Chain A
Amino acid sequence: AQSVTQLDSQVPVFEEAPVELRCNYSSSVSVYLFWYVQYPNQGLQLLLKYLSGSTLVKGINGFEAEFNKSQTSFHLRKPSVHISDTAEYFCAVSGAAGNKLTFGGGTRVLVKP
């Protein structure tokens, strides 16, 4: 079975500071990894995804994530956050169980001025 752990439930951060959201996964097969963002009162949208190739993946809004197979991690980073980055971020994995997407518990980011 596959699973995803997001180690931080909440991350407060000041505007223009960097942020890193941690995601670890477990799976017995090759994985595909995703980060989704949910802005307040909105649905989820894809930030970025890793399928294969370069382990550093760039997404929308200046976010990037690095796939680390040995550490089974896919941490999300942004070098300088904006107030508009206040949202909940979800890490997800697929690759087993008929390609079903499994989500982590989410990390709520609150950007302070």
Chain B
Amino acid sequence: GAGVSQSPSNKVTEKGKDVELRCDPISGHTALYWYRQSLGQGLEFLIYFQGNSAPDKSGLPSDRFSAERTGGSVSTLTIQRTQQEDSAVYLCASSPQGVGTEAFFGQGTRLTVV
């Protein structure tokens, strides 16, 4: 079946503009993660959705960042008033319900703020 799908794969935007990044998780997966990976850096956790529970937003770096997950499926990460330091690869992952389940990653969206 299809894996985690992210769109767009690349996005170039001007500083100050808003952007929306989309993630289509694997069907039936209850958990969904967003991470950010800056050039040469590790994975920075942004937000975690698990079923109908309140999302864990503890990793969002500022109030310019927000994410929602509609109907327990598709998720959108929104960055308002983008800054150059927002340039990074944004990775989405999903995992099925159950303890010890692995996460499956998408290919990421490369965001460049100019």
Chain A residues in the interface with B (C-beta under 8 A) = 32, 34, 36, 42-46, 49, 51, 88, 90, 92, 94-95, 97-106
Contacts and interface: CB of A to CB of B under 8 A. Distances in A.
Contacts of A34: 102
**Max chain B CB contacts within 10 Å: which of A34, A44, A102, A105?**
A44
Greatest chain B CB density within 10 A among A49, A97, A100 is at A100
Contacts, number: 58
Contact of B100 (A44, A49, A97): A49
Nearest to B107: A43
Nearest to A106: B42
B100 A94 contact: yes
Given A43-B91, A43-B108, A95-B100, A100 B42 contact: no
Contacts of B93: 44, 101
Interface in B8-61: 31, 33, 35, 41-43, 45, 48, 50, 53, 56
Nearest to A31: B100
B103 interface: yes
Contacts of A32: 99-100
A43 B106 contact: yes
B8 to A, nearest CB: 15
Contacts of A36: 105
20 contacts: A34-B102, A42-B107, A43-B105, A43-B106, A44-B105, A49-B100, A49-B102, A90-B43, A94-B99, A94-B100, A94-B101, A99-B98, A99-B100, A99-B101, A100-B56, A101-B95, A103-B35, A103-B43, A105-B43, A106-B42
A43 B6 CA distance: 11
Task: Enumerate the 8 nearest inter-chain pairs by beta-carbon distance, A residue then B residue, closest first.
Answer: A32-B100, A106-B42, A105-B42, A44-B105, A43-B105, A51-B100, A103-B43, A43-B107
B104 to A, nearest CB: 8
B99 to A, nearest CB: 6
